[in-house]
Structure 1
Amino acid sequence: MSGIVLSASVRQNLLSLQSTADLLATTQNRLSTGKSVNSALDNPTNFFTAQSLDNRASDINNLLDGIANGVQVLQAANTGLTSLQKLIDSAKSIANQALQTTVGYSTKSNVSTTIAGATAADLRGTTSFASAIASSNVLYDGTAGGTHAATSAITLGATQGVNTGATATAGDGTTALSAGITLIASGAATATGLVGNAQPADGDTLTVNGKTITFRLGAAPAAAAVPSGSGFSGNIVTDGSGNSTVYLGTSGTPAATVGDLATAIDLASGVKVATISAGAATISTSAGATPSDVGTTTASKVTLRSSTGADLSVTGKADLLKALGLSTASGGGNASLSVTRTTSAASLGQLIQDGSALNVDGHTITFKNAPVPGSAGAPAIPTGSGKSGNVITDGNGNSIVYLQAGTVADVLNAIDLATGVQTASIAANGTATLSTATGQSASSINTSGQLRIATGINADLSITGSGNVLNALGLAGNTGSANAFQAARTSGIGGIAGKTLTFGSFNGGTAVKVTFGDGTNGTVKTLDQLNTQLQANNLAATIDANGQLTITASNDYASSTLGSTTAGGAIGGTLTSALTFSTASTPIQDAVAQTARANLVSQYNNILNQIDTTSQDSSFNGVNLLNGDQLKLVFDETAKSSLNITGVTYNSKGLGLASLTVGVDFIDNAAANKVLTNLNAASSTLRSEASALGSNLSVVQVRQDFNKNLINVLQTGSSNLTLADTNVEAANSQALSTRQSIAVSALSLANTSQQSVLQLLR
């Protein structure tokens, strides 16, 4: 080859063609690889720099898998924490059920003592009570003008009311009405009987002051046939309480007369009274009363009179009342008439209604329109009761005041018997001797007309009433509408005033020292004040109606015994020497409640088992951060940037939770609260760990995103150093191809000149 001689032009063209070919090859290589630097020969600096960047990006990319696994480990731990928190909440629910279920003890430990006279409002009790005086409104008598003060001698009854009817005749229209006229006529002889349409029929009734007069055909029964408790007198059978049956006889033999009817009305009104013995009734006029009459006071006229103890009200067949001249109404329907008593200087201005009653400190005082038993013509005094004035008392504080002759003094005596200010000694003959209790003063009425009622020492005064008696006696308050009259006794100094009561710390509570007093300057007077001080020592107090004060362990410590070595709460203070306290009782379990609590213990222990298995299952790829494992994450290729996460052991023991024991745990509220305290601590631990895991997870995710972005930066930097500009390289390729074609043409031309020389040699 060295022997070949090329011309300068050929050699130059050949060199140009070789150079173009080399450049074209380089351009084509760049186009095919996309890189301008494909080897260290192309650009050593850029090649090795880019290679270093790519290597680092590759190293960091290799770390991303580990970081991704670390994220999942943290997610698994967080999922486990969430489940554990739910299990803890379930355990709390069980503990709260224990708090809400029936206390596990039917009787809690307690000590008690009785304080005489103590109440919830004043625990000091009393050594004595003094009788206080309560004043009524002013009472007035019946003097005209209504402003004259009443006195103790003023009567409860008043002057009889009188109603004289119009002139009346027998059924013939001409015979004057008299007591002997029969209520029914004999055949057509109406001159001896009432007119036909006025005659009562069998079963007709007349109502007098709420009492019933019944008309019956036929003769009055014999004594043996009279109903038990009733008695007969002539044509009348009466029950002794004002209810009567008038026997009319028959049309052939009329019996009952207008006079009999007047007697029956008087029996019902209280003007007359019947004493019953062996089926017979002895009828007499009440003391001081004038009976009703027919034609005696005024010829041919019926005169009806009320009693002194009640106004008269009569309702009956209109035709009958018209025939008696007592009504202008006629017909078979009812008509009514009334006779009102007349008040005077001797009687109360406002009269007490028959049947009214007072309830005084639980005792009953009844006001009755009748002559007092034991008086002339009146029934005998009931067995076991006694008479004093116009009052019949049973000796136990219950009395009946008889209105016909009763006085304000009698009412005051009856009230004093009810309050205990006076007592009644009942003799065998029915006489009641009243005496005033030692140190007390009987109730009275002052010169202003006010009742001065002694409360007595047995109880605070409480008077309620029915009928109009509260108003009539001035006991209905200033407005006259009050339904009770009350007054308190004067109480003596508290029996335990100044005494102290102490309790040592009971189950970790605050020791108590109580001084009883008037409730000021730190002293205790009321039950509420005592409980306020006992509460901090897990104790509570109650008091019953007999003054028995009981100090009891609270529900939280129902299983503890007061004063025991383990619980504390020993009692002391000066009160224990003044009063006798019971020995602290041992709490008594409630079998049903304890069974329910034992079931809750079992449920709780099942939850702990689930906590253990959940913590063990919270792993990913063999790493469990809730079971004591550790997690190390490397973030860069030099391992200088890393994160070490130390795991925790969050099974039941790791969370500070222990299995419960039946008969020990949940037995009272304190045991349940202890478990709740541990559960709350475990819940706080889980939340703290969840926060730490969340923080670590955030760090890992930030570094994961950082590494991804850094890889992109490194790869972009590497590409910037080695990548070719395809647009430029394509243009270069096109230009080199043209250049190569021109070089080939030039070489051909150079070779053509040598061919010309060869032709010459031929």
Structure 2
Amino acid sequence: MSGIVLSASVRQNLLSLQSTADLLATTQNRLSTGKSVNSALDNPTNFFTAQSLDNRASDINNLLDGIANGVQVLQAANTGITSLQKLIDSAKSIANQALQTTVGYSTKSNVSATISGATSADLRGTTSFASATASSNVVYSGAAGGTTAATGTTTLGATIGSFASTGATAGDGSTALSGAITLIATNGTTASGLLGNAQPADGDTLTVNGKTITFRWGAAPASTGVATGSGVSGNLVTDGNGNTTVYLGTAGTPAATVNDLLSAIDLASGVKTVSISSGAATISVSASQPGAAVSTAAAGAVTLKSSTGADLSVTGKADLLKALGLTTAVGGGNATINVNRTTSAASLGATIADGSTLNVDGHVITFKNAPIPGSTGAPSVPSGFGTSGNVLTDGAGNSTVYLQAGTLNDVLKAIDLATGVQTATVNANGTATLATATGQTNSSINASGQLKLSTGVNADLSITGTGNALNALGLAGNTGTATAFTAARTSGVGGISGKTLTFASFSGGTAVNVTFGDGTNGTVKTLDQLNTKLQANNLTATIDANGLLTVSTTNDYASSTIGSSAAGGAIGGTLTTSLTFSTASTPVQDAVAQTSRANLVSQYNNILNQIDSTAQDSSFNGVNLLNGDQLKLVFDETGKSNLSITGVTYNSKGLGLAALTSGVDFIDNAATNKVLTNLNSASSTLRSEASALGSNLTIVQVRQDFNKSLINVLQTGSSNLTLADTNVEAANSQALSTRQSIAVSALSLANQSQQSVLQLLR
């Protein structure tokens, strides 16, 4: 073979064919592997760089399994915490059942003492009280200067007021108005009545001191035709309370006169009184009015008078009042005339308004502008009532003081009847016999003008009022704006007023100092006030009808004994020197209730066992973060990026929960509340750990996603260095195939040339 010599052309074609074959083999290898760099010979730099990237991607990929296991460990712990939280809630439910069950003791520890006469409204308790004296502000008379002290005889009523008109005429304008002039005119004779536009119409009204005067056409009814309680007198029908109907007659036969109208006004103002019998009314001047102090009309002058007991106010159609010369206003609208009283040295400096009241210890004193019933011209005394001076009483402490002739002594008398300082016996003749209660002193007024009010012994003095009675009588305080006047009676022998009862701190409560008094300035009067004080020291009080005051423990501490070394609550104070308290009793268990509570203790302990087993079972792949294990996760191939999670021990003891003991725990509300406090703390601990686990789980999941993405980045980078472009390699393969075909053809041609030379030699 060594002797064979190839021609240059054959050798050249053969070498070209070999080169093409090598290139074609390389291209086909790239197409089959998909890589342009398959060994270090292809491209050492890219090959080893890509190999490094692939190795790192492989290392990180190997870490993903550990990270995935870590996620499951965290989820297992979170699942355990969720279950533990539900078990804690079940335990809370059991504790709440204990709170809602019957108290475990049929009798709680208590101490008691009898306070004679004590009630829930007044614990001071006594069989007798001494009447105290309370002073009002100075009450002045109406003497000039306003600084003269009033006396007991100072009248409540003032000097009558008077208002006189001038120049009032009848309808023709020339005849001076007189009381005989009718209110409506005879047809065609205008001088017989008021001006046409001043004549009252059917249904018109006047309002006098809150009373109503109504005008009606026609004649007054007979006495047999009036309503029950009303009476007829001439052209007037009155209800006895100041409300009157004036019958005008007709244009053909006028009836009511100016005198009738003035009489109706005087009935409403109290200047006149009426006595009604069988539908007939007898009207007379009030005996309390000085002289002939009635409203009149003569020689064109209409004079209005107030009573001594109230100012006069008349409101009505302006035209009517102008026709009487009382106003200059005209028209169909209303105008008002006021006639005020004046005070004097004999009367109070501040007049009391009609209808004002005083409420004294629950009894009502009413001030009325009228003469006392039974007096001359006044209505008779109502059945069941009696009069004394200017006071009408029902014998039970309720009174009416009549302003027209009443005095300050009458007011003091009415107050004493309300407080029980004085008593009233109602007589058959309509009078009342008053007597001062044994050991009491009647209220009075001193030389300085102060009312000296006796409180009486039945109750502490309390006076409220309506209208201006409190102010007028100096009972509205220093500023004149107080709405009540109060004063305490003095506790008699055997009472506990001013004495103090003390309890040392009981079962962790606040020590209590209780001073008994009138309920003001921190003192205690009522049972409610005492319980408010005792509440902070876990104690409560009751009192029975015999005055037995019992102080016992609250439900929260039903198992504790008052005054014991364990619970405290020792009794002391000045009250113990006058009252003997019983020895504190020990609580008596209720067998049925304690059995129920013992069953709840058993249920609670079962839940604790479930908490222990749940915490023990909350593991994954041998790691339990609720049993103190530690989880370490590595996130990169160097081990420098990692996360260590230290587990917790969340069995019942780790959560601060201990097994309960029957007969010790759940025996009262305080013991139960301690368990609830521990459960709430455990629940809070679980929530905090769940939050921490959630945060760590988020971190691990983020790193897991990060590593997956990083692996993709590394592999993509490796591929970019080694992968072949299949489009290019396919084109190269096609080109090399063509080249190879051409090379084969060229080699064949070169061989044919040698064959031709061989033929010549043959």
TM-score by length of 2: 0.65
Shift of 1:171: 1.3
Shift of 1:387: 0.6
Structure 2: which amino acid aligns with 1:211? K
Contact persistence 1:114–1:548 (CA under 8 A): yes
Structure 2: which amino acid aligns with 1:264? A
Match of 1:281 in 2: 281
Provide the C-alpha distance between the structure 2 equivalents of 1:586 and 1:78, rounded to a whole number of angstroms: 47
Q: What secondary structure does 1:240 align onto? A: coil
Residues 376-398 of structure 1: CA distance to partner in whole angstroms, max 9, x if unpaired? 11111122111110000111211
Which one is further off, 184-193 or 102-111? 102-111
Contact persistence 1:172–1:190 (CA under 8 A): yes
Shift of 1:373: 0.5
Match of 1:449 in 2: 449
Q: What secondary structure does 1:197 align onto? A: helix
Unaligned ranges ≥5, structure 2? 1-65, 630-647, 691-762
Match of 1:136 in 2: 136
Aligned 1:84-163 pairs, distance under 5 A: 86=85, 89-90=88-89, 93-94=92-93, 97=96, 104=102, 109=107, 115-116=115-116, 125-126=125-126, 128-163=128-163
Aligned 1:533-544 pairs, distance under 5 A: 539-541=539-541
Contact persistence 1:657–1:679 (CA under 8 A): no
Provide the C-alpha distance between the structure 1 equivalents of 2:430 and 2:203, rounded to a whole number of angstroms: 40
Provide the C-alpha distance between the structure 1 equivalents of 2:483 and 2:143, rounded to a whole number of angstroms: 28
Structure 1: which amino acid aligns with 2:401? V
User: Given the superposition, is the C-alpha separation of residues 144 and 158 from structure 1 closer, same or farther in structure 2, using an over 3 Å criterion?
Assistant: same
Provide the C-alpha distance between the structure 1 equivalents of 2:331 and 2:509, rounded to a whole number of angstroms: 89
Provide the C-alpha distance between the structure 1 equivalents of 2:530 and 2:425, rounded to a whole number of angstroms: 44
User: Given the superposition, is the C-alpha separation of residues 251 and 517 from structure 1 closer, same or farther in structure 2, using an over 3 Å criterion?
Assistant: closer
Match of 1:632 in 2: none
Match of 2:294 in 1: 292
| Residues 1:229 and 2:226 are matched in the alignment | no
Provide the C-alpha distance between the structure 2 equivalents of 1:308 and 1:80, rounded to a whole number of angstroms: 93
Contact persistence 2:104–2:667 (CA under 8 A): no
Residues 151-201 of structure 1: CA distance to partner in whole angstroms, max 9, x if unpaired? 111111122212221132221222332222111112112222112111100
Contact persistence 1:76–1:619 (CA under 8 A): no
Shift of 1:206: 0.6
Provide the C-alpha distance between the structure 2 equivalents of 1:346 and 1:534, rounded to a whole number of angstroms: 56
Provide the C-alpha distance between the structure 2 equivalents of 1:212 and 1:125, rounded to a whole number of angstroms: 53
User: Given the superposition, is the C-alpha separation of residues 616 and 142 from structure 1 closer, same or farther in structure 2, using an over 3 Å criterion?
Assistant: closer
Match of 1:312 in 2: 312
Match of 1:252 in 2: 252
Provide the C-alpha distance between the structure 2 equivalents of 1:503 and 1:347, rounded to a whole number of angstroms: 57
Provide the C-alpha distance between the structure 1 equivalents of 2:230 and 2:682, rounded to a whole number of angstroms: 88
| Residues 1:378 and 2:378 are matched in the alignment | yes
Contact persistence 1:94–1:603 (CA under 8 A): no
Provide the C-alpha distance between the structure 2 equivalents of 1:213 and 1:548, rounded to a whole number of angstroms: 62
Aligned 1:703-742 pairs, distance under 5 A: none
Shift of 1:464: 1.8
Q: What secondary structure does 1:415 align onto? A: helix
Match of 2:405 in 1: 405
User: Given the superposition, is the C-alpha separation of residues 252 and 115 from structure 1 closer, same or farther in structure 2, using an over 3 Å criterion?
Assistant: same
Structure 1: which amino acid aligns with 2:89? S
Structure 2: which amino acid aligns with 1:90? D
User: Given the superposition, is the C-alpha separation of residues 608 and 468 from structure 1 closer, same or farther in structure 2, using an over 3 Å criterion?
Assistant: same
Shift of 1:430: 1.8
Match of 1:178 in 2: 178
Contact persistence 1:177–1:294 (CA under 8 A): no
Residues 93-133 of structure 1: CA distance to partner in whole angstroms, max 9, x if unpaired? 4367558x767569984667663465899955445322222
Provide the C-alpha distance between the structure 2 equivalents of 1:107 and 1:314, rounded to a whole number of angstroms: 74
Residues 662-684 of structure 1: CA distance to partner in whole angstroms, max 9, x if unpaired? x9986852452364477589899
Aligned 1:355-366 pairs, distance under 5 A: 355-366=355-366
Contact persistence 2:85–2:683 (CA under 8 A): no
Q: What secondary structure does 2:410 align onto? A: helix
Aligned 1:318-717 pairs, distance under 5 A: 318-492=318-492, 495=495, 539-541=539-541, 549-557=549-557, 607-608=607-608, 610-618=610-618, 650=651, 668-673=668-673, 675-676=675-676
Shift of 1:144: 2.1
User: Given the superposition, is the C-alpha separation of residues 88 and 138 from structure 1 closer, same or farther in structure 2, using an over 3 Å criterion?
Assistant: same
Match of 1:12 in 2: none
Provide the C-alpha distance between the structure 2 equivalents of 1:617 and 1:655, rounded to a whole number of angstroms: 19
What percent identity do the matched residue pairs reach?
65
Contact persistence 2:137–2:451 (CA under 8 A): yes
User: Given the superposition, is the C-alpha separation of residues 614 and 397 from structure 1 closer, same or farther in structure 2, using an over 3 Å criterion?
Assistant: same
Shift of 1:222: 2.1
User: Given the superposition, is the C-alpha separation of residues 532 and 423 from structure 1 closer, same or farther in structure 2, using an over 3 Å criterion?
Assistant: closer
Match of 1:746 in 2: none
User: Given the superposition, is the C-alpha separation of residues 158 and 105 from structure 1 closer, same or farther in structure 2, using an over 3 Å criterion?
Assistant: same
User: Given the superposition, is the C-alpha separation of residues 388 and 617 from structure 1 closer, same or farther in structure 2, using an over 3 Å criterion?
Assistant: same
Structure 2: which amino acid aligns with 1:154? T
Which one is further off, 119-128 or 548-557? 119-128
TM-score by length of 1: 0.65
User: Given the superposition, is the C-alpha separation of residues 117 and 103 from structure 1 closer, same or farther in structure 2, using an over 3 Å criterion?
Assistant: farther
Provide the C-alpha distance between the structure 2 equivalents of 1:589 and 1:265, rounded to a whole number of angstroms: 82
Match of 1:13 in 2: none
Contact persistence 1:422–1:434 (CA under 8 A): yes
Contact persistence 1:98–1:672 (CA under 8 A): no
Contact persistence 1:352–1:472 (CA under 8 A): yes
User: Given the superposition, is the C-alpha separation of residues 343 and 603 from structure 1 closer, same or farther in structure 2, using an over 3 Å criterion?
Assistant: same
Match of 1:303 in 2: 303
Structure 2: which amino acid aligns with 1:227? A
Contact persistence 1:160–1:307 (CA under 8 A): yes
Q: What secondary structure does 2:413 align onto? A: helix
Provide the C-alpha distance between the structure 2 equivalents of 1:545 and 1:152, rounded to a whole number of angstroms: 43
User: Given the superposition, is the C-alpha separation of residues 393 and 528 from structure 1 closer, same or farther in structure 2, using an over 3 Å criterion?
Assistant: closer
Contact persistence 1:198–1:319 (CA under 8 A): yes
Contact persistence 2:501–2:515 (CA under 8 A): no
User: Given the superposition, is the C-alpha separation of residues 248 and 517 from structure 1 closer, same or farther in structure 2, using an over 3 Å criterion?
Assistant: closer
The CA RMSD over aligned residues, in Å, is 5.5
Contact persistence 1:121–1:525 (CA under 8 A): no
Shift of 1:582: 13
Structure 2: which amino acid aligns with 1:312? L
Residues 631-687 of structure 1: CA distance to partner in whole angstroms, max 9, x if unpaired? xxxxxxxxxxxxxxxx999579999755999x9986852452364477589899999
Contact persistence 1:109–1:562 (CA under 8 A): no
Shift of 1:223: 2.2
Contact persistence 1:498–1:515 (CA under 8 A): no
Provide the C-alpha distance between the structure 2 equivalents of 1:681 and 1:210, rounded to a whole number of angstroms: 72
Provide the C-alpha distance between the structure 2 equivalents of 1:381 and 1:418, rounded to a whole number of angstroms: 20
Match of 2:45 in 1: none
User: Given the superposition, is the C-alpha separation of residues 473 and 72 from structure 1 closer, same or farther in structure 2, using an over 3 Å criterion?
Assistant: closer
Contact persistence 1:387–1:432 (CA under 8 A): yes
User: Given the superposition, is the C-alpha separation of residues 327 and 685 from structure 1 closer, same or farther in structure 2, using an over 3 Å criterion?
Assistant: closer
Task: Kindly name which structure, 1 or 2, has the bigger radius of gyration based on alpha carbons.
Answer: 1
User: Given the superposition, is the C-alpha separation of residues 371 and 517 from structure 1 closer, same or farther in structure 2, using an over 3 Å criterion?
Assistant: closer
Aligned length: 595
Structure 1: which amino acid aligns with 2:294? S
